[in-house]
Structure 1
């Protein structure tokens, strides 16, 4: 932490605790500098930051005083977050981050993806006023980045034409465009179950009929799919091939081939989410690699591998479909951020992105091993996925009440992502489980909480009853 940040944090804490009352004069710049052992310039900067945050104000020639109208403190945990069992609660917590311990988080910590070199590039990006076009940019997205994506996709055996890839503001924007373009109220869609819970909310907002297809370790349950195709006629099937969220599973070649055959026979499109692709081996099976452009839409993003704050993703598919999605993008938001796309391209061309990926793969591998060992030590059955990713799916004792478990975790300042949220049908019984982010799974506070919960569940009837 920088010296200025440390001073601001300490004085803010003193104000919050009541050591300095509203309207009270703070130590002079000279006195504060002597107290903290810093220069007067450093102390003045710290006071200016307190002013900008509404915690203090300056009187010319007199000094700095504690503000009488300070911002109201944000509550640490709101009631809806305490429940932690609804889609909106989990989505809100991903952004607001009320909890200290975060095994249920969907993202890696910033320290895993954003280092000093990245921050330097963000500060000194070559997007100077002389070089940046201050217009909207192309509705397709930055041409040079799209061309890099075409080369990258080719390494995964995914052939894409020049007008077969467009840029979006992340995967969720791509999914939203696809939903808007293809679906009308009442249309049936298939989804992985368990699967990506924010997608369920988008589909229900579009008034689609959402049907879950059981997700197995090696892909969608093909028998479950066959049975549901007897009575349902889906327009789309949303699925994630590799490093599946939330189970960590992977798509086998046999499942991929059969799934494409069934899509052809029953005339539905497959929407393949491959958000972790750049972290994974290019030779892993992808539905889009089988050459059926009219049958598969392929979506990806840099948000999980570069930075969540750089909202940049893409959709690849048949050119006629992509052109329609670009038109819809223009209608709904005109264009994506040319500045963000240039920054992403600069990180790629500078070698920073490749450096980030190498570091991130090591973090994931080490985190997965540490998480598996820590959770096994507390008495849970943990199976590492075949393909390393951010998530491990962890079954909980059957005697455990999942809702009460999440509530107790929230009271202990621990963010849990429970199994029930990841299932398309919330009315069916779901065995208690949770998605654990490997960045946080070995946290001592989390493990101590789990150890106590497992002990209590055994007292109440045993883990397998």
Structure 2
């Protein structure tokens, strides 16, 4: 806690306890600074924070006076919000970044874009030179980028009608719209396990029942899926086709066809997450490409391939569903950022996006090889994905206490992503493991920590 916070807390406590009464003038900034042993600027900031809280009133030329108003305690958080926010502890660390060594991170490091022209292009703000529109923009998103997406998806054999794609503020925004529009409290959905943990938080917040489907390196376990379908009637199955987060696996043609066959037989929709589509060959299997657009909602993003700060994604599906999602987007957020969307299409049109993707693929391939090699030297065999991505799944020795492992890593200033965080029930008793970002997997500090843990 800084000095300003300490002073604010102390004075607020004195007001609450009655040591300073309503209407009473507080010591001047100069006197207060001397009393607390701080600069006048520090003291003035403390008083200003108390004014912002409604506890003091500033009278120009006179000083600061107690208002007599005490801050109202915030209402206790709803249990479902508390539970949902607990699930995204990994996401919180990725936003706030307390740890130096980051094998558990979900993003590649900024250095992976250094040396390319992408950063310099974005810094110039080329799109800012374009005609600036001061209105909201269309709730569908920038027409030029939507048109490019239709062409891009056609290369993956995914047919999309003109009004069958909308832009979002990233994949999580797309998930949020789909959940709000198409699910009700008490509905049942299937999810990958291990799978994408921010999705679990959203579903829990919506009071939707999640049923885990075992995820293998070639896609969802069809035997487990069939067994669960004998018990449950899911409304949807949320799954990721390629570059699976967290296992790094993909989707084989056999599993893709088997999954679609079960979806037809049991009449449930599929939400296909393809966040890394632009990094993977267009020939890889996609569920939305199997002539079943009416059954599949296809969700993608530029935030993973460009920058997490560029919140830009999309949802594709039947025009009827997309129109409903656009209406919901209009009600909740009005529109997405046309400036961000214009920057993305400028990067594409200039050829910088393609150059960036080529460089990123090389980085992923090198990171995957070095990480697998480093773990092999420790006696841990990692399953190599057919197509390199951002992640690998690292099993830990049977009997490893994941909580203790995470605490030890934190003490060593290392951020890890344990297996339990990627399960809907956050079960720490199942097979221990962790997601490893290939950019950091061979980091000497991380490898030294693992070697020490394995020798115990």
Q: Give the structure-1-normalised TM-score.
A: 0.79
**Structure-2 residue corresponding to 1:391:** 391
- Does structure 2 retain, via aligned residues, the 8 Å contact 1:382–1:394? yes
* Mapped partners of 1:115, 1:338: distance in 2: 28
- Does structure 2 retain, via aligned residues, the 8 Å contact 1:418–1:435? yes
**Structure-2 residue corresponding to 1:120:** 120
**Structure-2 residue corresponding to 1:248:** 248
- Does structure 1 retain, via aligned residues, the 8 Å contact 2:88–2:197? no
Mapping for residues 202-213 of structure 1, pairs under 5 Å: 202-213=202-213
**Structure-2 residue corresponding to 1:310:** 310
**Structure-2 residue corresponding to 1:181:** 181
Mapping for residues 20-419 of structure 1, pairs under 5 Å: 69=42, 87-113=87-113, 117-128=117-128, 131-419=131-419
- Does structure 1 retain, via aligned residues, the 8 Å contact 2:127–2:346? no
Cα RMSD (Å): 2.0
Query: How big is the shift at 1:86?
Result: 5.4
* Mapped partners of 2:94, 2:131: distance in 1: 35
Query: How big is the shift at 1:379?
Result: 2.3
Query: How big is the shift at 1:157?
Result: 0.5
SS in structure 2 of the partner of residue 69 of structure 1? helix
- Does structure 2 retain, via aligned residues, the 8 Å contact 1:379–1:451? no
- Does structure 2 retain, via aligned residues, the 8 Å contact 1:114–1:306? no
* Mapped partners of 2:137, 2:289: distance in 1: 30
Which range moved further: 319-328 or 423-432? 423-432
* Mapped partners of 1:113, 1:265: distance in 2: 45
Which range moved further: 145-154 or 251-260? 251-260
**Structure-1 residue corresponding to 2:442:** 442
Which range moved further: 124-133 or 433-442? 124-133
Return closer, same or farther for 1:344/1:403 CA change in 2, 3 Å cut-off: same
* Mapped partners of 2:339, 2:379: distance in 1: 49
**Structure-2 residue corresponding to 1:45:** none
Return closer, same or farther for 1:247/1:427 CA change in 2, 3 Å cut-off: closer
- Does structure 1 retain, via aligned residues, the 8 Å contact 2:251–2:285? yes
Query: How big is the shift at 1:399?
Result: 2.8
4+ long deviations beyond 6 Å = none
Query: How big is the shift at 1:125?
Result: 3.1
* Mapped partners of 2:128, 2:453: distance in 1: 55
- Does structure 2 retain, via aligned residues, the 8 Å contact 1:113–1:305? no
Query: How big is the shift at 1:88?
Result: 2.7
SS in structure 2 of the partner of residue 394 of structure 1? strand
Return closer, same or farther for 1:427/1:434 CA change in 2, 3 Å cut-off: closer
Query: How big is the shift at 1:265?
Result: 1.4
* Mapped partners of 2:231, 2:428: distance in 1: 19
- Does structure 2 retain, via aligned residues, the 8 Å contact 1:114–1:307? no
Return closer, same or farther for 1:377/1:180 CA change in 2, 3 Å cut-off: same
* Mapped partners of 1:190, 1:116: distance in 2: 40
- Does structure 2 retain, via aligned residues, the 8 Å contact 1:316–1:322? yes
- Does structure 1 retain, via aligned residues, the 8 Å contact 2:394–2:433? yes
Query: How big is the shift at 1:130?
Result: 6.7
- Does structure 2 retain, via aligned residues, the 8 Å contact 1:249–1:385? yes
Q: Deviations over 1:245-280 (max 9, x none)?
A: 111111111111111111111111000000001000
Return closer, same or farther for 1:354/1:421 CA change in 2, 3 Å cut-off: same
Q: Deviations over 1:70-97 (max 9, x none)?
A: 999xxxxxxxxxxxx9523211001000
- Does structure 1 retain, via aligned residues, the 8 Å contact 2:170–2:311? yes
Return closer, same or farther for 1:130/1:95 CA change in 2, 3 Å cut-off: closer
**Structure-1 residue corresponding to 2:75:** none
* Mapped partners of 2:368, 2:242: distance in 1: 16
* Mapped partners of 1:316, 1:67: distance in 2: 57
Query: How big is the shift at 1:69?
Result: 3.0
* Mapped partners of 2:398, 2:249: distance in 1: 22
* Mapped partners of 2:405, 2:190: distance in 1: 30
Query: How big is the shift at 1:243?
Result: 1.1
**Structure-2 residue corresponding to 1:452:** 452
* Mapped partners of 1:115, 1:312: distance in 2: 24
- Does structure 2 retain, via aligned residues, the 8 Å contact 1:211–1:425? no
* Mapped partners of 1:332, 1:313: distance in 2: 17
* Mapped partners of 1:449, 1:166: distance in 2: 45
